[in-house]
Structure 1
Amino acid sequence: MELQNIQVIVFLAITALIGLVTYWYCRGARHSENGEQEYFLAGGSLKWYFVAGSITLTNLSTDQLVGMNGNQMALLAWWELAAVVGLMMLCFVFIPVYYKYNCTTTTELLEKRYNNKHIRALISVLFLLGNIFIFLPAILYGGALFMQSMFGIDVNIYIIAAIFAIVGSAYAIFGGLRAVAVSDTFSGVLLLSLAIAVTLIALNAINFDFTGIPKERLTLIGAPDSDIPFATLFTGMIFIQMFYWSTNQTITQRAMASPNVKEAQKGILAAAAIRLLVVPPIIVLPGIVSYKLYGDIGDAAYGQIVGDLLPSYLSGAFAAAIAAAVLTTFNSILNASAALWVCDIHEAYFSKKPNVKRLSFWVSIVMVLMAFAMIPIFNNPEQSIINTVQQLYGLLSMPILSAFIVGLLFKNVDARSVILGVILGVGFYFYATNPMGEAQNINLHYIHLMAITLILAVLSALIMNKVVFKKTVIWDAKTVFGRAALE
């Protein structure tokens, strides 16, 4: 189809409006005199609705809408349903602890628990590797693909991705977390409203009739060889959600930016309600409908159905909403990555009092260029974006989570034993899944392997702590998670 003027006008108008409203709100807000606190935690001033909006839209981007709908099956809804459990863990277990230890980054908690800056720096580096080489390029690619398939425009996908990278960087670099969170919330209302409309319009296009669609695309009980075997819900899936929602700086940073624990918890609970009631239908039903209409077209499914079924003015608005989702997810990860570098690495090893804004500017530029160079990895017609992201991130997520689990449950742990456990976990998962080869070396689903990786890393750390470093761990969960953490 040809790009119509009304689509362009609506798209540009809504995009500009979100930017102006964000600027207006942030300009009138009170700012903290602490530069680091202001830039990375919005001065500790985020109300619960901005926490909810920012958490929702930071996660809900093209890797969900494009990638999950690109599977064209109901099974992928488990990612979002299981996310509710992860948010509950963040709300009632982890957030009180982060506030208790007065953390700017999640990794700061590790330094305080282990009394060692090197474990903090190592985990930060792993987070940064995942953000730069996995999440950021996946978001740029998914957003560019959606625009290309929705509008049917003959523009190189890398040009579209470059535009997203430039605009998204501007939000993160010049506005800090406050601008990111505010734009997330305004954009989130628009995106969720239009995504629900797309879902209803798509269902109406097939008269709510799912006949002719293969049974395996409608079931929530995954077969052993499916993308999400049912058994994995009770192994690696729960740990994936714990890692992503409770230890990942990009998500937790929003909740850590509230004035107190209760305000943060209200925002997290609101985000969980949205995740439970709204998100699952919008990330699977349009994809299933597209299978009935077009057949197996993979990651192009969502853009195709939006472009074909929505009237021009709505498709322009939806393009603006998707663009906002791409930009806010991109700038959220970029801001979190800058926080990790500045707080955990630069201040620890280079300069204790850097110019936060200037340093974040140059760090962000370098990260964006590196992420842009990784986009070709995700241009893979054989596997959806979401599966590629999850499988690759297993290299880092479970080893990182092992450091948090050991640090929160025990004391008298030598940080070197945990560092060795983390390295062993990365090595095991790399060997087991063989991401650089054509077949896995261990014939188990990667979600099962993630659970095994976590257990191996934790046990290795505890054994080395005893055998190599001659220390006996002491159970300390009551101290960490006790009533004091909630006060």
Structure 2
Amino acid sequence: MDLQAVQVGVFAFITALIGFVTYWKCRGARHSSDSNKEYFLAGGGLSWIFVAGSITLTNLSTDQLVGMNGNQMALLAWWEFAAVVGLIILAKVFLPVYYKYNCTTTTELLEKRYKDKHIRATISVLFLLGNVFIYLPIMLYTGSLFMQSMFGIDTPIIILSAVFAIVGAAYAVLGGLRAVAISDTFSGVLLLGMGIVVVLLALAAIDYDFSGIPAERLTMIGDNESPIPWHTLLTGMIFIQAFYWSTNQNITQRAMAAPTLREAQKGVFAAAAIRLLIVPAIIVLPGIVSYKLYGDIGDAAYGRVVGDLMPTWMSGAFAAAVAAAVLTSFNSFLNSSAALYVCDIHEKYISPNPNVPKLSGYITGLFVLVALLLVPVYDGADSIINLVQQLNGLLSMPILSTFVVGLVFRNVDARAAIIAVISGVGLYAFFSFVWMPLHYIHMMFFTLGFCILTALGVNRAVYGKRAELVWKSDNADAVQLDAKGG
């Protein structure tokens, strides 16, 4: 009983400390007069440290810790190694364009490149569908599942999910992105530290001896039957990462909240370094060890390792770290979802000057309610992380195609891009639910190519426009200026 009191006391103290430090940092910050920029981009005042911290912890939550360790194999580390490439693409390719166009949302770039607000709203709706129907409920479910398996409690998952949802929504509604990013960073330091401790405890539990674990669990070269066949690294994997890190509002919003492009790039490169050096071990080694200790136990692996191996006196701190990870990822997605609705839909079609904090509060409440209702849908899934990636394919490649076409070509009608997106969603739905001829990562690559070709073909055949490569048209403009003596 005394140890339980210590656990609860440590958990409460650390959680309260993170909340207090977040409040203290937010209170002393300078605020922008632009309500959208203040609420959704922290007034453009995030230093590179908070950019890196928020990007890291927005991505690294229980869906990663539970889902990836739940595969109980080293192969899943490829998601993290490939993410480094995605972050570099964000820093060097996309961020300069977002800052050039002074974007609040990633989809604002589409409106400015296509000169059409409807494509911005269409892609925002797709992002919102992914956030509300996939990411938010999965975060609540995996966080609650972890707490159940770690502490061996009988509290229903829906009750634990409701607690996470209410507290996470409070951060997002009351503090905006500034509070979200600051709490992300402090929570991230705690989570990464505790994650490393778990890795060391797990390795010590098997005396650093991996004998007896099947070779397919340890290899980094996946065969055709594995979750990541080696050849998928050459096709769809890089584009999945480009979508997630470079066009996804939930991630990119943090990098767009720095005062300068250079400061944002520093934060993204720091996040890439963390992703390369620390995260892979955290998301695969405990799962591999759990296979040797318990056999094939799936998504319960991480919670079981932590519950069995971590000293009781330390488990309160780890519970605080996990709770912080769930809350920060959840509130990050809530804030980004509110930004998409307010900036891309409400202000464009309903009212141009709403009360941003009040409207965001209402829409956040709606998103939370829907996410909670969907938690039971994901209960009992064979592999959360593989399910997430497959569902992602419905939206990710069609969305990415609009950015590729918009940045690489000029003179493309927005309606052609929208038709391509709708066609791409339908095509991948067919692959997912009717006929999957190749691995789903290959089919994501195929879907991207289909969407790009469809946009260009419809643009020419239906709307009578000939797309021009940006670099080619830029060179032509330069020649004309030279000829005029400009």
TM-score, with structure 1 as normaliser:
0.96
Distance in 2 between residues matched to 1:302 and 1:49, nearest whole Å: 28
1:480 and 1:268, CA in 2 relative to 1: closer, same or farther beyond 3 A? farther
Residue identity in the other structure for 2:461: V
- Aligned equivalent of 1:347: 347
| 1:451 counterpart = 2:445 | yes
Pick aligned residue for 2:458 from 449, 464, 481: 464
AA aligned opposite 1:384: S
The match for 1:404 is: 403
Structure 2 residue aligned with 1:363: 363
- Aligned match of 1:194: 194
- CA shift, 1:2, in A, is 12
Query: Is 1:442 matched up with 2:441?
Result: no
In the other structure, the counterpart of 1:394 is 393
- Report the Cα distance in structure 2 between the residues aligned to 1:429 and 1:397, rounded to whole angstroms: 10
Identity %: 69
In 1, Cα distance between equivalents of 2:245 and 2:436: 28
Query: In 1, Cα distance between the equivalents of 2:299 and 2:5?
Result: 26
Tell me the CA shift for residue 478 of structure 1.
7.3
CA contact (8 A) 1:378 1:388 kept: no
**Preserved contact between residue 3 and residue 152 of structure 1 (Cα < 8 Å):** no
SS at match of 2:227: coil
Give the drift of 1:5.
Answer: 2.0
Indicate conservation of the 8 Å contact 1:403/1:422, yes or no.
yes
Structure 1 counterpart of 2:322: 322
The answer to whether the 8 A contact 2:3-2:312 is kept is no
2:54·2:182 contact (CA, 8 Å) conserved in 1? yes
1:421 aligns to 2:420 (yes or no)? yes
**Are the equivalent residues in 2 in contact too, given 1:57–1:329 (CA < 8 A)?**
yes
Rounded Cα–Cα distance in structure 2 between residues aligned with 1:478 and 1:182: 43
With normalisation by structure 2, the TM-score equals 0.96
Letter in 2 for 1:431: F
Secondary structure of the corresponding residue to residue 212 of structure 1: coil
Q: Which SS does the other structure have where 2:199 is aligned?
A: helix
Given that residues 2 and 151 in structure 1 are in contact (C-alpha distance below 8 angstroms), is that contact kept between their aligned partners in structure 2? no
Query: 1:223-279 CA distances to partner (integer Å, 9 max, x unpaired)?
Result: 111111111111110000000000000101000000010000000000000000000
1:164 aligns with 2:164: yes
Moved >4 Å (runs of 4+)? 477-481
Q: Residue 485 of structure 1 corresponds to which residue in structure 2?
A: none
Deviations 1:320-343 (A, max 9, x none): 001000000000000000000000
Deviates more, 1:311-320 or 1:57-66: 311-320
Within 2, Cα distance between the matches of 1:279 and 1:480? Answer: 41
Please say if 1:101 is aligned against 2:101: yes
> Is the 1:97–1:480 Cα contact (8 Å) retained in structure 2?
no
Separation of aligned partners in 1, 2:141 and 2:466: 48
Decide whether the 8 Å contact of 1:57 with 1:185 is kept in 2.
yes
Which residue identity is paired with 2:394?
L
Give the superposition deviation at 1:376.
1.9
Q: Which amino acid aligns with 1:417?
A: A
| Alignment match, 1:150 | 150
Structure 2: which amino acid aligns with 1:464?
A: V
Are 1:310 and 2:310 an aligned pair?
yes
How many Å separate the matches in 1 of 2:277 and 2:211? 25
Opposite residue 454 of structure 1, the aligned amino acid is: L
Q: CA deviation at 1:378?
A: 1.6
Cα deviation for residue 477 of structure 1 reads: 4.5
Matched, 1:65 2:59: no
Query: What is the distance in 2 between the residues matched to 1:2 and 1:154?
Result: 21
RMSD: 1.4
What SS is found at the alignment partner of 1:4?
Answer: helix
Deviations 1:381-429 (A, max 9, x none): 4x21111111011100000000000000011011110000000000000
CA distance in 1, matches of 2:281, 2:220: 13
With over 3 angstroms needed to count, the CA separation of the structure-2 counterparts of 1:177 and 1:478, relative to structure 1, is farther
**2:131, 2:333 within 8 Å by CA — same for their partners in 1?**
yes
- Structure 1 residue runs without a partner (length 5+): 435-439, 482-487
Change in Cα spacing, 1:479 to 1:157, as seen in structure 2 (3 Å) is farther
Aligned residue for 1:29, secondary structure, equals: coil
Aligned mates of 2:430, 2:374 — CA distance in 1:
22
Q: Could you give the per-residue CA deviations for residues 148-196 of structure 1, whole angstroms, max 9, x where no partner exists?
A: 0000011101100100000000000000000000000000000001100
Native 8 Å contact 1:3 1:151 kept in 2: no
Alpha-carbon separation, structure 2, partners of 1:466 and 1:296: 53
Indicate the SS of the match to 1:107: helix
**How far is 1:371 from its partner?**
1.1
What pairs up with 1:2-401 in 2 under 5 angstroms? 4-381=4-381, 383-401=382-400
More deviation in 269-278 or 312-321?
312-321
Matching residue's letter, 2:417: V
State the match for 2:479 in structure 1.
none
Aligned-partner Cα distance in 1 for 2:228–2:293: 24
Give the distance between the partners of 2:474 and 2:265, measured in 1 at CA. 18
Residue 4 of structure 1, CA deviation: 1.9
- What residue in structure 1 maps to residue 483 of structure 2? none
The residue type equivalent to 1:108 in the other structure is E
Cα 1:402–1:35, aligned 2, differ >3 Å: closer, same or farther? same
Structure 2 residue identity aligned to 1:409: V
Counterpart-to-counterpart distance in 2, 1:142 and 1:480: 49
Q: Which amino acid in 2 is paired with 1:375? A: V
Helix, strand or coil at the partner of 2:136: helix
Structure 2 CA distance for aligned equivalents of residues 220 and 2 of structure 1 = 45
Given that residues 147 and 303 in structure 2 are in contact (C-alpha distance below 8 angstroms), is that contact kept between their aligned partners in structure 1? Answer: yes
| Residue 360 (structure 1) shift | 0.2
Per-residue deviation at 1:442? 2.6
Alpha-carbon distance between aligned partners in 2 of 1:3 and 1:212, rounded to the nearest angstrom? 35
User: Structure 1 residues 214 and 2, CA, compared in 2 at 3 Å: closer, same or farther?
Assistant: farther
Aligned-residue offset at 1:6:
1.7
For the residue of structure 1 that corresponds to 2:395, the secondary structure is: helix
- TM-aligned CA distance change 1:448 to 1:480, over 3 Å: farther
**Which residue identity is paired with 1:474?**
E
Deviation by residue 1:69-125 (Cα, 9 ceiling, x = unmatched):
000000100000000000000000000000001100000000000000000000000
One-letter amino acid of the counterpart of residue 419, structure 2: L
1:364 and 1:314 map into 2 onto residues whose CA distance is: 34
